[in-house]
Amino acid sequence: MNSSNITCSYSMASWEESMDKLYSYFYLLIFIPGLLGNSLALWVLCRFISKKTKAIIFMINLAVADLAHVLSLPLRIYYYFSHDWPFTNAMCMFCFYLKYLNMYAGIVFLVCISIQRCVFLARPFCAKRWKRRYDVRISLLLWVVVGVCCSPFILMRRSAGMGASNNHSCFKDLPMQRPGLHIAIPMMAFAEMCGFVVPLIIIILCSYFITRSLQHSGSGQQSLADRHRALRMVRVCTGVFLFCFAPYHINFLFYMMVQQDLISDCSVRQAVKQFHPISLCLASLNCCLNPLIYYFLTTEFRKLTRQGSSMLRGRLMSWESSSSYKE
């Protein structure tokens, strides 16, 4: 593993301790909402949502990606509290890999939902002829592509070595190999363009075209309502995308430049390194925010959520009434 040739006077030791606490408490904070939200979403999407609902397959895949990451959080929480990894190296690398797989699978399926809603509004006859098996095939292909594209995140760590002295280290404490500039620059460009810039442009364009169709729409009330729902959904996708993924990808470019010693200013290097874990936490927050998309996009999801809340309130009121009667 290559080491940095730039020496700075600041110490990251105290920040490393704070980073461990940040990861621990943040993952604790999002674990229960993420587990409940995505489990409920999968249950509702698979059992109750109409087959005619647009983008249903992409929403299911998005929920699966989020739930897989959420289920790995207890192991992360354990490690950052105990600073010890008693499990296998393979399990460590798999959990490490799941984080990036979740992030980029989330980006890809958010883009797919936005594109499909936009295209089906523009070409309703295409929507009627479209088969759900097409979405299944697209999803399988995307999982393979995203899985392959995320492999460098673990290959760089694995090839850096996990020898006997490192058997109890995992996640951020794994040594990172610093590739040469001839590899690092194309990798950074590919990750930034395909993982952030192009998806962002696509989602913004979808929002623009749906807004434009609303302004020039002379169709019936039902079609207008569909367009309003589509616009609201794409805006939610855009909001989740910008809030969760933009900070990481903007900082990632500078972080890789720091790793390659392309940035020599010590204050900038320190700021980039300190913001890196914060940006990763914001990226993990998408597993709690994505269920909002299902709520805004599907009428059945809203109805079932409201019915469940009404039943819960009814049972609580009944329990309180019976308790006061007994008293």
CATH number at 211 reads 1.20.1070.10
Q: In what helix (H) or strand (E) does residue 240 lie, and over which residues does it extend?
A: helix 221-259
**Does a structural domain hold residue 322?**
no
The predicted-structure confidence for 23-63, as pLDDT tens digits, reads as follows 889 999 999 999 988 888 888 777 765 555 567 888 889 89
**Does a structural domain hold residue 325?**
no
Instruction: Work out the burial of residue 154: count CB atoms within 10 Å of its CB; fewer than 13 is exposed, 13-18 middle, 19 or more buried.
Output: middle
Place of tokens 């470019």: 253
Contact at 8 Å (CB) between 82 and 93?
no
Place of tokens 């913004």: 204
**Does a structural domain hold residue 244?**
yes
Selected residue with higher pLDDT from 142 and 82 = 142
pLDDT-derived band of residue 206, with 50, 70 and 90 as boundaries?
confident
What pLDDT is stored for residue 141 in this prediction? 95
CA 183 to chain centre: 26
Flag whether pLDDT at 287 surpasses 80: yes
Q: How many domains does the chain have?
A: 1
Q: CA 239 to CA 160: how far, in whole Å?
A: 36
**Does a structural domain hold residue 154?**
yes
Output the pTM of the full model.
0.79
Q: CA 129 to CA 138: how far, in whole Å?
A: 16
Domain that holds residue 265: 19-301
**Does a structural domain hold residue 312?**
no
**Does a structural domain hold residue 182?**
yes
**Does a structural domain hold residue 5?**
no
User: What's the average model confidence in pLDDT over 184-196?
Assistant: 85
pLDDT-derived band of residue 166, with 50, 70 and 90 as boundaries?
very low
Contact at 8 Å (CB) between 273 and 176?
no
pLDDT-derived band of residue 191, with 50, 70 and 90 as boundaries?
confident
SS3 for 6?
Answer: coil
Paired tokens of 177: 């190999």
Selected residue with higher pLDDT from 173 and 145 = 145
**Does a structural domain hold residue 306?**
no
pLDDT-derived band of residue 165, with 50, 70 and 90 as boundaries?
very low
Contacts of 126 (CB under 8 A, 6+ apart): 119, 120
